[in-house]
Amino acid sequence: MSSWTRLRLRTRPTEWRTQNESLGNRRGRQGAGSAVTTQETVWTITELIKWSKGYLADKGFENARLETELLLGHTLSLPRIELYVQHDRQLSEDELARYKALFKRRLAWEPVQYVTGTAAFMMAEFEVTPAVLIPRPETEAMTEVAIGLMGGAAGHDSTESGSEDLLLLADIGTGSGVIAITLARRFPGAEVVATDISAAALLVAARNAERIGVSERVRFAEGAGVEPLAAMGLAGKLSGIVSNPPYIRSGDMKTLPQEVREFEPGIALDGGGDGLDCIRSLAQDGPELLADGGLMVIEFGDGQGDAVRELMETKLAHVEIHKDYAGRDRIATGIKTTEANIR
């Protein structure tokens, strides 16, 4: 029987009583001559963080403190820092019940981002559901590379809101919309077309664009690969294409961590036998949509750099491989130019 099953609201479970016997002794008896009674123990923020962090760590969760803070902060509608400002706050029965429900979901290895319904990406918070991939640091690194190169090509600082330079950009396989929306935020004069094969994912992305305030400059289209963009008559018109496509080899899908394998959408992960099905299509068909000087930026998987470079060099010039925050080859960029000797 799990600790949470034994937990009755406002009563300390066996594991916690063992770690905090002084609390039980301090609250457990009345004065001399009276009947001995056991008072119910109250959970404070500090006590709940301490116990939850230890329990998650014992169960093999690597980021136990962070995840505890995220779950508790979500329960109490508090930023993480405020948990420590209000460290001695006592949880109500309703708050503890809500926290317990979230904690049990995480114990079943459901990703904490799905449990809370939110994920951070480049200093913004986005809605995520099991219909979309959880954004990761590798994709932040790719987006930063894209912003840097696009800003330089446009001849302005991407943070300048007054720029008149117009960028027409595409995010292929947008998922929750984090890339498209971030590009729209960083380039106030840009229009972005975000595509995905999943209608459910596009609904999430559209809500994110509305909440973050860029919905007027981000359009959404359902379909596979470049097909929606071609159908919109965008051949030769795009300033840039950015994509985090599926790139896990089909044979490796079963080896992914449980929280990825069982909860995240396989359609956003499985890149076919060699993991390059979607990247191969993008490298072949994407350049036709780019204007002269247009940029393509693609995220890829471990060990795929040489193959991706070869694919992109068939129709793009100045192909380069960039590293992610962990120092691994992760991002490929190339430029369409009619002057280059493309083989």
Among the ranges given (26-30, 52-56, 182-186), the one the predictor scored with the smallest mean pLDDT: 26-30
Fold of 3-108: Helicase, Ruva Protein; domain 3 (1.10.8)
Alpha helices in 108-198 (DSSP H): 112-116, 137-154, 178-186
Q: What is the pTM of this model?
A: 0.84
Alpha helices in 232-285 (DSSP H): 258-261, 277-285
Judging by beta carbons within 10 Å of its beta carbon (0-12, 13-18, 19+), is residue 90 exposed, middle or buried? middle
CB atoms near residue 28 (< 10 Å): 13
Comma-separated ranges of CATH 3.40.50.150 domains in the chain: 119-335
Comma-separated ranges of CATH 1.10.8.10 domains in the chain: 3-108
Helix (H) or strand (E) holding 219, with range, is strand 218-222
Whole-angstrom distance, CA of residue 15 vs CA of residue 17: 6
pLDDT reading at 8 higher than 60: no
Q: Give the mean model confidence (pLDDT) for residues 198-206.
A: 98
- Give residue-wise pLDDT tens across range 51-105: 999 999 999 999 999 999 999 999 999 999 999 999 999 999 999 999 999 999 9
Identify which of 231, 236, 198, 204 has the alpha carbon closest to the alpha carbon of residue 218.
204
So what's the pLDDT on residue 339? Answer: 61
So what's the pLDDT on residue 153? Answer: 55
So what's the pLDDT on residue 338? Answer: 76
Mean pLDDT of the chain: 87
Whole-angstrom distance, CA of residue 321 vs CA of residue 333: 7
In CATH terms, the superfamily for domain 119-335 is Vaccinia Virus protein VP39 (3.40.50.150)
So what's the pLDDT on residue 96? Answer: 95
Whole-angstrom distance, CA of residue 287 vs CA of residue 315: 7
- Give residue-wise pLDDT tens across range 99-122: 999 999 999 999 999 999 999 999
CB atoms near residue 94 (< 10 Å): 10
* Residue 140: HSE in the Cβ half-sphere, 13 Å Cα cutoff: 12
Among the ranges given (155-159, 214-218, 243-247, 338-342), the one the predictor scored with the smallest mean pLDDT: 155-159
pLDDT tier for residue 151 given thresholds of 50, 70 and 90: confident
